[in-house]
Amino acid sequence: MKHTTLAAFTLIATLGCGTTLAPKELLDARDAYDRAAKGPAAKLTPAQLDTAKQALDKAEASFKDDGDEDGTKTMAYVAMRKAQAAAAQGEIAAAAQRRDQAARDLQAAQQADADKAKKSLAKTKTELAEEKRRLEAERKQAEAERKQSQAELAKKDQEVNKTKQQLEEEQKKRLDAEKKLSAAMASLAEIAKVKEEKRGVVITISGEVLFASGKHELLPIAQNKLDDVAKALKDQGYKAILVEGHTDSRGSAKKNEELSLQRANAVRTHLVSRGIASEKIKATGIGPSRPIATNDTAEGRANNRRVELIVTPE
């Protein structure tokens, strides 16, 4: 009987767990573990989750063996905390993954940005080099154009100087010629009348000075005067010279014409002998047909007896 009582007591003591509902702490522990197992801890921190599982298993075993005693409740409470801690560690690991991924993303973005900047820099360098080459080409072209302009300017200056020099020479020559002409005209004026007409410069020498009456041979003094005339003509320059012989109206016209021609030829011959070009000088006898004064007076007839040199200037 006593054995039966002890057995019943022991049975009640040991079977209590089987019939007692699980304590709240154990239910909370199971729930905490389930949530942890569904979170990132399952994949990222399986060791911590396993530790929580072991704690839960221990609590379950305690409940199975001992029921809802304080020890079981404490184990369940600890198991719940370990499950929550495992979940937290899973979250920590997940956060670390996100952080690491973000760091990689940042590094990739920075690298991409650096590559972009590098490309941009390279492009800018290329553009700058191209611009530099273009500017250099422009500078060289401008330099060449400047040199060409300088050369052209120098050439023009040279031409201007040459032209100026030529003008100065021409002017000098002209002044010299004018001086010579003036001198020649002054010299001629002493021995003959000189005047400009449409037909040219007309030098009129009185026949009284050149020839004896009725003769066509030059007087000695006339030769000296014609020498001066020849010298003046050569100094002045000439294109052509026409020697005209003129008489008064006394005597036959035919004889006067012959005489005037002979006198003109005499003058021509002497001038040629003094250096006047023979192909540029001609002689003609006009006779009495072109008087410059009346033949009714001795003075007028004296003026009509003359030799005229019609000079065409150069």
Partner 1 sequence: MSIRTAGLCSVLGFLFMACGGAAAPNERVTSATAAVRAAEVAGAPGNPEASLLLKRAREGLAQAKAQMADGKNEDAALTLQKAEADADLALYLAREAAAKAEAQAAVDQVKAFKQKASE
Which positions lie near partner 1, rule CB under 8 A? 2, 6, 10, 13, 70-71, 74-75, 77-78, 80-82, 84-85, 88-89, 91-92, 95-96, 98-99, 102-103, 105-106, 109-110, 112-113, 116
Q: How far is the CB of 140 from partner 1 (least distance, A)?
A: 42
- Residue 70 tokens, joined: 């304080």
Question: Rounded distance, CA 194 to CA 205, Å?
Answer: 9
| d(C-alpha 314, C-alpha 311), whole Å | 9
Least Å distance, CB 102 to partner 1, is 3
Least distance (Å) between residue 142 CB and partner 1: 41
Q: Residue for token digits 């089987």?
A: 18
Asked if 226 and 271 touch (Cβ cutoff 8 Å), the reply is yes
Nearer to partner 1, 107 or 252 (CB): 107
User: 45 vs 303, which CB is nearer to partner 1?
Assistant: 45
Nearer Cβ to partner 1 (80/229): 80
- Backbone region of residue 281 per phi and psi (left: phi > 0; alpha: psi in -120 to 50; beta: other values): beta
The minimum distance between CB 132 and partner 1, in angstroms, equals: 30
Smallest separation (angstroms) from partner 1 to the CB of 99: 4
Q: Which is nearer to partner 1, 35 or 81 (CB)?
A: 81
Q: Which C-beta is closer to partner 1: that of 106 or that of 175?
A: 106
What is the DSSP secondary-structure string of 198-245? TTEEEEEEEHHHHB-TT--SBPHHHHHHHHHHHHHHHHH--SEEEEEE
